[in-house]
């Protein structure tokens, strides 16, 4: 059985999206230590969701990605993406590549 831990992403609702990068690193390290292979991180409503309308995250998506990747070891990181098609199309290829590299390495 494979488990996808959503503590960081889904749990961010409980603290108004205010996980710090250090919090993310601690949770990723602990999840990996107990054998969790897949870990979802980021704003509760997905990439690019930090806003007054959806709740302002303490850190940026990039900061969360980089912090998690530093400690993830073999764990695979995932990011919730809930973008309408036209928003995805207007992201530059560089930005799309950053999401993919940080999120799926």
Torsions phi, psi of 64, nearest 5? -65, -45
Contacts of 80 (CB under 8 A, 6+ apart): 9, 40, 42, 43, 44, 45, 46, 47
Share of the chain above pLDDT 90, in %: 55
What residue spans define the domains of the chain?
4-104
The model's pLDDT over 71-101, given as tens digits with 9 standing for 90+, comes to 999 999 988 876 554 455 555 555 656 666 5
**Looking at the predicted structure, is the pLDDT value of residue 14 above 90?**
yes
Where does 4-104 sit in CATH, by number?
Answer: 3.20.20.70
pTM here is: 0.77
pLDDT of residue 84: 52
The model's pLDDT over 23-55, given as tens digits with 9 standing for 90+, comes to 999 999 999 999 999 999 998 888 888 888 889
Q: Give me the residue label for tokens 């996808």.
A: 4
């Amino acid at each position: 059985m494979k488990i996808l831990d959503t503590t960081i992403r889904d749990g961010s609702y409980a603290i108004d999206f205010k996980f710090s990068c250090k919090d993310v690193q601690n949770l990723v390290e602990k999840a990996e230590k107990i054998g969790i292979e897949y870990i979802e991180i980021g704003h509760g409503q997905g990439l690019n969701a930090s806003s007054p309308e959806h709740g302002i995250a303490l850190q940026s998506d990039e900061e969360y990605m980089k912090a998690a990747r530093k400690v993830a070891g073999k764990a695979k990181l995932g990011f919730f993406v809930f973008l309408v098609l036209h928003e995805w199309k207007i992201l530059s290829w560089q930005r799309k590549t950053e999401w993919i590299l940080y999120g799926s390495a």
